[in-house]
Structure 1
Amino acid sequence: MSDNDTNDDEVRTDGSGGGGIVAPDDETPTWSERKQRSQGLSRLTYEYFERARREDQDLRQQSDYVERDVLAFPAWPHEMIRNLALTSFFVGMILFLSATLPPEMPNPANSAVTPAIILPDWYLYWSFGLLKLGPLNPNLAILGGAKLMADRTYGVLANVVVVGFVAIVPFINKGSARRPVEQPFWAAVGMAGVIFSLTIAALSIKNLIPMDSHLLFDLTFLVPIVAGTITYAVLKTMREGYMFDLNRRYYRLRPPK
C-alpha cells in the first residue's frame, strides 16, 4: 500500500478528507480542542456545512436514496454555539429597532366610554369571525321556527370543530410524503384551511371592509374552496410532468417501499 493510499484512508475528524469517511462521535474533537483553535466560529461553521455536504454527496453516490440518519456535530456545544450566535444577532437587531423606532403610544383608554368597534388581537380574528356564523345557524321547523342553540353557542361550537379538525389532521394523514406534490389532496386541504383563516378573519372585521356584508359572507366560504381546487389541480398536473420526476430523484430522502 502506498503512502497516498494510507493518507486517503486516514479518518479525518473535520469531514474534509479521507474519501468521504466520517469519524464516529467518539473521535470528534472535544470542546477544549476546538476552543484552542484560533479560527473561532467561522471555521466551526465551515466544517459543519462541509461535513454535511460530503456525507450527503457520498450517500448519493453509494445508493439510490439518501437517509437522513447521518453523522453530524454534537448538539452541545457545536450546534448550541451556532444557534446562540444566530439568536443573539436577531435579538440584537430587534432591540436596536425597538430603541431607534419606538412604537407610538396612543391616549390611555377611557373606562367610561365603550369603543364603537371592539376587536381582539389580530391573530385571533379567525376565532372572532367564527362567532359571527349566526346566519348558518338553522331555524328548525320542529321547534316552531326557533333555533336549537343560541348564535353565540353556535359560534363557540364552530371554534371547537375547527380547532379539533386541525388537531386531528396529523393523526389522520400518516403518509410518508415530504412535499405537497406527493399528496395533492392534503396539500389542497392545507391551502384551503389557510385561505379560510384569512377570509373568516376578514369577516370578523366586516365593519371595516368596504364591501357588502352578504357578499363578504359568501366569499368567506367560496374562496377557500376555489383555492383548494386550484391547488389540487396544479399539484396533480405536476405529478405527471417532468418537474415531479426530477424533484423526486433529487429529494429521495427515504428507502423505496
Structure 2
Amino acid sequence: MRMTRAAIKVLIVDDDTIVRRGLAATVDWARFGMFVVGEAPNGKRGWEEFLRHEPDVVITDIVMPEENGLEFSRKVKASRPRTKILLLSCHKDFEYAQAGLKLGASGYLLKTTFEDEELNHFLAAFQTELTEIAPKAEPDFSDQPKVIQQAAEYIIRNLSNPMTVEDIADEVGMSRSHLSTLFKKKLGCGIHSFIEAKRLQLAKQLLKESDVNIQEVGERVGIQDAKYFSKWFKRCTGIPPSDYRNEQKGKN
C-alpha cells in the first residue's frame, strides 16, 4: 500500500448552533481536501475536541460563553503552532479580531456579511499551505507488515508533535519492545533514527520549497526552540539551516 496524503481535518467552534452546523453541512469541504472532524459550542469544549482530533484548521467564533475564542486560539497556537485558525466575528468584535490576528490567527470573517467566496479564499490558501508543508509520500511500504506501515504513517503525520515510542506502539496496538524489534528488523533502523530522518527530510523540504522562517520550520518538525533547531540541523548536515536555504535557493 502506498502512503497517501491525509485529508485536512477541520474543527468548528461556535455557540450559535445554526452557524456551526450550517458551516459543517453546506461547505464543500472535499473541494479543499478537508473534512469536519468535530464541532463545539465554546472554547472549553473546543479545546477538548482539539485534543481529541488534532485538527489542521480551526474555525472559531470569538465571543462565546465559558471560554472565548481568543483564549481558545491562544492554547491552540501554543500546543500546535502549524494549526490554521480562522476567526468568526461580529462588527462589534473588531478589536477582538485584531487581537486574534496577533495571536497567530490567519484571518477573520464577519459572521453577518461574509460571502462564500471569502471563506473559500481562506480554505484554498490553507489547503495550499498545509499540503506544501506536508511530508511527501514515501515511495513504498507495500512489502512491509501492516503494523509497520501504520507506525511509519503515524510518525510522518505527527512530525510537528512530541512523540514517544510508547505513543506509536499504542497507536498500532503493539507493545513497545515488540514494535521496536520488528521495526528495526524490517526497516533496518530504530524508531528514533527513523523519526530523526523524517524530521530532517521535512526540514530540508521546508527550507528549500517554502518561505516560512527558521523558527517555524523548527516548530513544524517538532523542535520549538529556534537555537536548538539550528544546532540540530547543523549537526545533521554540517551547515546551519539559513545557509542550506541560501544554497538551495541559489540552485533554482
Q: Where on the TM-score scale, by shorter chain, does this alignment land: which range?
A: under 0.3
Compare the two structures and name the one with the higher strand fraction: 2
Larger-Rg structure:
1
Compare the two structures and name the one with the higher helix fraction: 1
TM normalised by structure 1 equals: 0.20
Of structures 1 and 2, the one with the larger relative CO (CA 8 A, separation 6+) is 1
